[in-house]
Structure 1
Amino acid sequence: MKSSTTLDPVLKNAPKAKRRRSFSKRDRLTLGIFIGIPTFLHVALVWFPAAATIYLSFTYWTGIHIGDIQWAGLANYENIFFNTPIFWDALRVNVVWLIWFGAIATPLGILLAYQIDREIRGSKFYQAAYYLPVVLSLAVIGVIWNFLLRPDGLVNGLLGLEISEAVSFFGDDRYNIWVILTMASWRHIGYIMLLYLAGLKAVDASLREAASIDGATEWQSFRKVVFPTMKPVNVIVIVITIIESLRAFDLIYIIYGSSGGLPILGVLVFQNIAGEGASMKGAAYAVILFLLSIVPIIAYLRAQFKEDMK
């Protein structure tokens, strides 16, 4: 039988159990302030208004006295889908916006990022120039382009046209949507370029070298090697493209005001909440806009996660 003196070195060398750190009252107070206040503000300013909007979309309410709220069921949604033709016009514009961003603006941002990542001559200047619109809000972008393209603006002035014969870039239905989309793309392209440029910097250079040694062209190397390794960035870009195509209220409001010369869902939300107090039709529009934004994003992320789990 071993003596206690023999066991002492073993006990001394045994790993000690980790002690749980105890927080003082001051630590708990600090954690409570830094976690509790942001959480409260987030719930109060984001989640509570969102939940209230969903509830109010099923009611009639003047927006003044809470006691006047009356349950309406699906009446507001039925009114939108069956008795409001402008809803379908706005939905069509938002779909065109999404297609434009997905097929033109986003690929252009990826192309610019790829070219700048190759460190072409003047790449630093191009990077700064294309990124500049990203730091501006859509409202500021609307003010800038409105100054350039309005009938008495800079472009018509350079063309030497009087106001009576000036080109109405925003008033002509033949091309006003394309002008607005170009304005929105000015910022979106730089945003996508920035995201993709950060992703390209993180790609292992040895992967490209191996593809080049195997005889792959530059396009093949990007399509089969670089692009698949940037799946996290691709997910973010798709989510941003969907959201940006549906949240363009600022730009339209700066150009057309509350009249909403180009119907989009964001403008309909504003018009019906501010102008129709007896109905929560605006809240119903907001819920529809939310679902159109979140459903495709959730579906895409779910498909990606399933593929990763295989």
Structure 2
Amino acid sequence: MRHRLRDPVTGLLFVLPVLVLFLIFRIFPSLGAAGMSLTNWNIGGEWEFIGADNYARLLDDVNFWLSLRVTIVYVVIYVPLTLLVALGTALLLNQVVFLRGLFRGMLFLPYVTSFVLAGIIWRWIYEFDGLINGLLAKADLGPVAFLEQSSVVLPALAVVSVWKGFGYSMLILLAGLKSIPSSYLEAARVDGASAWQRFRRITLPLLKPTIFFVVVIETISAFQTFDTVYVMTGGGPARATYTLIYGIYDHGFRSFDFGYAATWGMVLFAIVLIVSLVQRRFLDRGNT
């Protein structure tokens, strides 16, 4: 018995530091937020147990349903766009032989750039006298108020987030492409398959587990978007970018209604969990 337990105990000792950090900074705060959502908790640390009153209040909160709609629209725009850009750049990098590391580093650079700095740069790009409107003026097209017009502000923010974050998914997809045996593609090429046929019949099916992973992490990231909204729009115009995370920040750190903010957080957790399970059902199909 002691001999059989030696290896599991040894492995547990190696992962114990990370496990302790995970419990301290992930599990315990999540449990604390769940408990806080059942209370009326103020900035002074005083609290009163009110049960499910915060959840009943949330169901009647117009701002919550507005923020949920805004977040879903943002996710629908951001996730497919990120996947397309990341997959396209990964396919290109997979074909590059000369200076591959340089191109990979250049494309990954925005990911490690500060979101505040990226937001400031893109605010200038989107301004009336900025880069994009300058190009539109040369094409005899009127200026567009990207950050002041409710109909275009979410796509504009999604473009910024895609530019900032596609590099991580690109590297994951590139690793998935590298894991595909070259003999499969070579055999298809010998049999006369075109580049599109090789991609559709060989590359895409074998890349499906990696794509599933990228879709899940990018969906979770989209539901948690905050930096871009905070830096560039502040939830405006007319709450057109008032996402769920920004609502949590608004109630928690502006109104100091921590119990109600925790309620928003728990609902967001449930939404992300359900969406992830649905994605696993329809995208994964048990292959991952």
> What is the TM-score with the length of structure 1 in the denominator?
0.76
The match for 2:214 is 237
Secondary structure at 1:307 match in 2 = coil
Call closer, same or farther: CA 1:121–1:300 in 2, change over 3 Å: same
Q: Name the SS of the counterpart of 2:146 in structure 1.
A: coil
Give me the whole-angstrom Cα distance separating, in 1, the residues matched to 2:244 and 2:281: 26
Q: Tell me: higher relative CO, structure 1 or 2? Use CA pairs within 8 A at least 6 residues apart.
A: 2
Secondary structure of the structure 1 residue equivalent to 2:42: coil
Distance 1:145 1:288 in 2: 31
Aligned with residue 45 of structure 1, among 9, 16, 25: 25
Within the alignment, does 1:197 sit opposite 2:149 as a pair?
no
Change (3 A) 1:279 1:201: closer
Q: Following TM superposition, by how much is the alpha carbon of 1:37 offset from its aligned partner in structure 2, in angstroms?
A: 4.4
| CA distance 1:197–1:276, change in 2 (3 Å) | same
Is 2:38 the counterpart of 1:58? yes
Residue 268 of structure 2 corresponds to which residue in structure 1?
289
What is the one-letter code of the residue matched to 1:269?
I
1:20/1:167 CA distance change after superposition, 3 Å: closer
**Alpha-carbon distance, 1:194 to partner:** 1.8
Offset at residue 120 of structure 1 (A):
7.5
Q: How far apart are residue 58 of structure 1 and its match? A: 1.8
Contact 2:93 2:100 (C-alpha < 8 Å) held by counterparts: yes
> Does the 8 Å CA contact 1:76/1:279 hold for their aligned counterparts?
no
1:275 aligned residue: 254
Q: 1:209 to 1:166 in 2, by over 3 A?
A: closer
1:221 maps to: 198
The Cα of 1:246 is off from its aligned counterpart by: 1.0
Give the equivalent residue in structure 2 for 1:140: 117
The answer to whether the 8 A contact 1:258-1:271 is kept is no
Contact persistence 1:147–1:153 (CA under 8 A): yes
Over 3 Å counting, the alpha-carbon distance change for 1:258 and 1:225 in structure 2 is closer
- State the one-letter code of the partner of 2:55: Y
For the residues of structure 2 that align with 1:278 and 1:201, how far apart are their CA atoms? Answer: 49
8 Å CA contact retained: 2:39, 2:49 = yes
| DSSP 3-state at the match of 1:70 | strand
Letter in 1 for 2:272: S
Deviation of the 1:89 alpha carbon: 2.0
| Deviations 1:223-264, CA, capped at 9 Å, x for gaps | 221122223312221112211211210111112347766210
Q: CA 1:300 to 1:157, structure 2 compared with 1: closer, same or farther past 3 Å?
A: closer
Q: Secondary structure at the match of 2:286?
A: helix
SS at 1:262 equivalent = coil
Tell me the number of residue pairs that the alignment of Structure 1 and Structure 2 aligns.
278
Q: Which amino acid letter does the alignment assign opposite residue 40 of structure 1?
A: V
Query: Distance in 2 between the 1:299 and 1:176 partners?
Result: 28
| Identical-pair percentage | 26
Report the structure number with the largest CA radius of gyration: 1
CA RMSD of aligned residues (A): 3.5
Q: Deviations over 1:261-298 (max 9, x none)?
A: 62100100001112333561110111111122222223
For 1:1-310, what aligned pairs fall within 5 Å after superposition? 36-65=16-45, 68-82=46-60, 84-119=61-96, 126-150=103-127, 168-257=145-234, 262-278=241-257, 280-301=259-280, 307-308=286-287
Return closer, same or farther for 1:69/1:204 CA change in 2, 3 Å cut-off: same
Report deviation, 1:52.
0.7
8 Å contact from structure 1 (residues 106, 188) kept in 2: no
The residue type paired with residue 269 of structure 2 is F
Amino acid at match of 1:138: F
Q: Distance in 2 between matches of 1:37 and 1:195?
A: 26
Q: What amino acid sits opposite 1:71 in the alignment?
A: F
Please give the per-residue CA displacement for 1:7-27, whole angstroms capped at 9, x wherever unaligned: xxxxxxxxxxxx78999xxxx
Cα separation, partners in 2 of 1:156 and 1:40, compared to 1, 3 Å:
same
Deviations 1:19-60 (A, max 9, x none): 78999xxxx9xx96x655443333222211110101111222
